[in-house]
Structures are given as C-alpha cells and as structure tokens.
Structure 1
Amino acid sequence: MSENKDHSALKDIRKMGREELRAYYDQWAESYDKTLQSWDYQAPKQAASMLRPLIPGEATMFDAGCGTGLSGQALRDAGYSGRIDGSDLSPESVELARKREIYDTVEVIDLDRHPLPVASDLYDATLSIGVLTYIQDLTGLLSEFCRVTRPGGYVLFTHRDDLVAEQDFFTLTEDLVEKGLWEKVEVTDPQPYLPGHPDYADDIGIIYFLFRVR
C-alpha cells in the first residue's frame, strides 16, 4: 500500500479512516502500477539494493504493506529466492500481488492493529515501503516489526521527509534504540519520492531507515 483519485491529489489520504482507505486502494489497484510507473517511483528498487549486500539470497522476508507487489518484485529481481510473505490492507491489491506469483503468501492485514497476526522471530528482514504515511500507531508498528524479525535481522522502511519532521520521527526511532529493540545501520538523507508527480516532485521526498534487530 503506497500512496494516490485522479490519483494526483494524495495529501488528503491521511485524513481517511481505515475502511475509507481500504476502499480507496481497492478502487485504485488495477491502475496502480501504471500510475506509479508514470511518476517514476523507484523506492522498491532502492530498498532491494540496500538489503542485497546485507542479507543472502535465500533469506526470509516480510513485505508489510505490499500493495500490488512492487517491492516483492524488486526483491526477486535483485536475486532473492527465499520465502517472501506479503500483506496489505486492500483486498484488491492483495489479489493482484498474488497473481504475480512472487510471494509465498499474501494476506489482508491492517498494520495499525497490534499484535500483527505473524509469529515472532520469523523473518530475516521486514520491509515496509511507502506505508507509514497511513499508520496511526507508529511506535506500535515498528515494535511489531522488531518482534517478527529475528535478532540480527533487518528492518527497512521509508517515511516522507515532511512527516518525519512533523512527527518528530527521529526521536521515535531513537527511543526504540534506547529500549534495546534495534540498532541503527543507516538513515539516508531525503531522496526523490515521486519525481513525476505534479505536486510531490519538488516538495516531498522520502528517507530510508535501516535498522538491525537486537
């Protein structure tokens, strides 16, 4: 589940309730990939390239908020052959992700309902790309990512740079360091998010956050 009704006006999506958001992405699912391609959305490929030097090709991964499967496809294209499970709020997006035949399982899961219906210490890596925009309980979700990822595994996610500032997000991630849940590996400077989007191209970037679970 990443962002977009002509799908260029994305900024009001944060105001939606969960069922409204689900319906929005269900409606968008069929044209989602084509729209993101027109905006030159590169985050899935960038995420896969960040993980590739750290995690072997047979690693098990959880693509949390997988949408139609762009990140899962990027992982496969990067050479990952191990188990990849996906989840998304939108049933229509989940169905399209299943049709790619790149995931071992894809389930409808609301990432704002905790605990997640996922076993502890199950994955070598959890990634969540273009998803945190819609999450209310950020601390809860990131803590859950640590729970489902084995000690020594990695959690990789993106967040919009404007929301990082608005939410004092760096403090939130450091709090989890102090609680002993993870240690920082890399936090990038703001990167291009949707270079081809009429509003976001110059105004909104994304930051990649990579942590190792303790």
Structure 2
Amino acid sequence: MEGTFTDEEKEEGDRCFKFLVEKGLDNDAIVKRFDCVAEKYDKIQAIIGNDLPMWMAESLAALYTHSRNTVSILDVAAGTGLASCEMRKRGFLHIDGLEPSEKMLEQAKKKNLYERYICDILADKTLDITDDTYNIVTVVGLSSEVFSTLPTKAFEELVRVTKSGGHILMNHFDYIFQRDDLRANLASLEDRGQWKLEDKQIKPDIAHGFTGHLHIYKVL
C-alpha cells in the first residue's frame, strides 16, 4: 500500500501519525488534534497502512455469519467511518458512530456511513444511549492515550449498551494492551461477571509496522 505514495507523502503521513499518538495529552487536546487532520485523515491511514478497520470487519464477519443486515452495531472512536465502510462491505448495515471530534464525524457524514452520529467521548461518564441497544460494540484503534487510560466506568458503559449475549470487540497495537491499568480494568469486568473474554488474536504489521491485538468479549 505504501508503495503508491511519494516519499513526501510518506513523510507527511509519518509526521501526522506521531502528531496523533504523542504521549501526555489530555482528552481535549487529543480531540483538537483529530479535528486538525480530519480532512486528510483517510489518506494518512492509507499511507501508514492501517489495517485495523479491515481486520475488525473481517472478525465481525467470521463471528456473525448469518443475518448481518439485522445486527445493530456501535462503532466507538468512529472517526471518519473507516471501520463502518469495511463493515458495510460485508453486509452490516445498522451502524451508529460514537466520536468526540466533530470534524471527523463531518467526514463520515459526507459518506453516509452511520444511522446515528453521536458526538461524545468514551470516558468516566454515562453515554446518551439506552441500555441493551446493540448486538455488537466495536472499538477500532481508539487514540492510544485515551484507550490506555480509560477508567473502569468506560468499559462498564460498553457493557451497559450491549445486549446480553452480544459482543464487544476491541483492536489496537500490542503495546497498548500490555499497559497495566488497561489490563487491570479489562480483567475487573471479567472478575465481576460482566463479560467473558472469548477470543484473543494477534496480527503482525497491522499498521506502521506494529503488531495488532484483538480482544473479543461476550457480554453476560
């Protein structure tokens, strides 16, 4: 994929990637950075070879082999809709997007990729979503700094809006899943019987040379 871009474009993609994953930023600063790059975000992801959205869609298709057009999905960290685009290619039609960057959501709206556009951030707060709304919740490449510092409440919200027996799928780079706080929070919900880890997958060179991890949880 990278071979289709000039050296200058590759350098810009690398700069933008580092701009978005810089450590130590608070949520407001991170959202502003995504606002800044929204119009060129899809191109940046193509330049760095980000296959996280495609991997998520393929994993969903393997998990739900029938009646995909009836399944309801919440795409967390929806961005410009890259994951929704891949899901729709595989027959998933009822998808809502949760994304804190208004500029990113504007790009998704141009492509008509979601039924509901929810401008909000996954954090220590209650989302404006009714209990037991979705069969599936996906979290695809959520900002590294946001994902690795998510409070327990954030994961409880994902469980709350997912129907019993439904699934929550999260993928990201391996080093994110290795952070102690994140590992503890994920295990905490399992210890309390809110979800069960059904599968864990690894995919090398998922984006920018990083190894990807995928966790699939079943809501109890």
> What TM-score, normalized by structure 1, do the two folds share?
0.87
The Cα offsets for residues 71-114 of structure 1, whole Å up to 9 and x where unpaired, read as: 11111011112x21001111000111111112101121011141
CA distance in 1 between counterparts of 2:122 and 2:181 reads: 21
CA 1:166–1:11 in 2, change beyond 3 Å: closer, same or farther?
farther
The answer on 1:206 being equivalent to 2:212 is yes
The answer on 1:131 being equivalent to 2:135 is no
Q: Hey, what does 1:188 align to over in structure 2?
A: 201
Contact 1:63–1:128 (CA<8 Å) still a contact in 2?
yes
Deviation at 1:61, TM superposition (A): 0.4
Q: Hey, what does 2:85 align to over in structure 1?
A: 73
- Counterparts of 1:11-30 in structure 2, within 5 Å, are 13-30=22-39
Q: Which AA in structure 2 matches 1:207?
A: H
Percent of aligned pairs sharing the same letter = 23
Contact 1:132–1:138 (CA<8 Å) still a contact in 2?
no
After superposing the two structures, state which structure 1 stretch, 13-22 or 91-100, moved more: 13-22
CA distance in 2 between counterparts of 1:139 and 1:104 reads: 28
Alignment counterpart, residue 128 of structure 2, candidates 110, 117, 121: 117
The unaligned stretches of length 5 or more in structure 2 are 1-12
CA distance in 2 between counterparts of 1:163 and 1:10 reads: 17
CA 1:213–1:132 in 2, change beyond 3 Å: closer, same or farther?
farther
**Coordinate RMSD, CA, aligned:** 2.0
The unaligned stretches of length 5 or more in structure 1 are none
CA distance in 1 between counterparts of 2:89 and 2:20 reads: 31
After superposing the two structures, state which structure 1 stretch, 94-103 or 8-17, moved more: 8-17
Contact 2:195–2:219 (CA<8 Å) still a contact in 1?
yes
The Cα offsets for residues 160-212 of structure 1, whole Å up to 9 and x where unpaired, read as: 22132232544432221111111111111353231xx3xxx2xx322101011
SS at match of 2:15: coil
- Counterparts of 1:1-214 in structure 2, within 5 Å, are 6-10=15-19, 13-55=22-64, 56-57=67-68, 58-81=70-93, 83-131=94-142, 133=144, 134-135=146-147, 136-167=149-180, 169-189=182-202, 191-194=204-207, 197=208, 201=209, 204-214=210-220
CA distance in 1 between counterparts of 2:20 and 2:113 reads: 31
The Cα offsets for residues 6-40 of structure 1, whole Å up to 9 and x where unpaired, read as: 31425753311222111100110000001101111
After superposing the two structures, state which structure 1 stretch, 71-80 or 14-23, moved more: 14-23
SS at match of 1:189: strand
The Cα offsets for residues 97-141 of structure 1, whole Å up to 9 and x where unpaired, read as: 111112101121011141111111000000010016214334222
SS at match of 1:209: strand
> What TM-score, normalized by structure 2, do the two folds share?
0.85
Contact 1:132–1:158 (CA<8 Å) still a contact in 2?
no
- The alignment of Structure 1 onto Structure 2 pairs a total of residues equal to 203
Contact 2:52–2:206 (CA<8 Å) still a contact in 1?
yes
